[in-house]
Structure 1
Amino acid sequence: MMVHALLFVLSLGGFICLALAMERHQRDLCGHTFAQHRSRQWRVAGWALLLLALVMAVLAQRVGFGLASLSGHTSVAAGVVVLALMLRARQRP
């Protein structure tokens, strides 16, 4: 059970970082865009978290079940981030 929580949190963190690497979401969430090197850092952090989730899934659950499990966790995490961004956009005047 802890493996599933860890995979979800890593996936969620990865997609949040990837969202913050995009200029549109930076403007929507922070009101301004970040410097190019800061956006690159967010992008690298996002992919690193997703890669870490992949490694943890394969080590904990073997290749077959680990990849299937990770696919589900990343899908739900991406959906949560998209819904949060949509709700945030609707709250803005």
Structure 2
Amino acid sequence: MTPIVLALNFALSFAGLAALALSLDRHHRDAFLSRPPKARARGLRVAGWAGILLSLAASVALEGWNFGPVQWIGALTGASLLVVALLSYRPGWLRPAALAALPLALIALPFALRG
């Protein structure tokens, strides 16, 4: 397990879970102070599942089937704890944090592929 692969996996998982959370009426209202339009909620749901699937694909591709799914579940658990903490205490910070996680994942990707 390399830390850079774990960081990539965590960032993708966090962005995906944050998008899924923001697709729900209650969390979207807490973060944006309005209900999500149906098209935005659908787009957030698709983006969320895509982020989670990309996270799984990255962990399996970079760590193999022996350890990849284990690392994926660990990163998914950590990312979900962070999403829940942000939704509980600072719901307005979830969107910027999720948007910041995507460039971090792009920065980590070349290092993960090299190592």
Q: Structure with the greater relative contact order (CA < 8 A, sep ≥ 6): 1 or 2? A: 2
Alignment partner, residue 32 of structure 2: 30
So what's the TM-score if we normalise by structure 1?
0.92
**How far off is 1:2 after superposition?**
1.3
Whether 2:54 is the aligned partner of 1:52: answer yes
Alignment partner, residue 80 of structure 2: 78
CA distance in 1, matches of 2:87, 2:40: 20
CA distance in 2, matches of 1:23, 1:35: 9
Matches within 5 A, 1:11-30: 11-30=13-32
CA distance in 2, matches of 1:29, 1:60: 34
- Detail structure 1 runs of 4+ shifted over 6 Å in the superposition: none
Alignment partner, residue 12 of structure 2: 10
CA distance in 1, matches of 2:42, 2:65: 30
Gaps of 5+ in 1: none
User: Which of residues 64, 75, 93 is equivalent to 2:66?
Assistant: 64
**How far off is 1:88 after superposition?**
2.3
The count of aligned residue pairs is 89
So what's the TM-score if we normalise by structure 2?
0.75
Gaps of 5+ in 2: 92-115
User: Which of residues 42, 45, 61 is equivalent to 2:44?
Assistant: 42
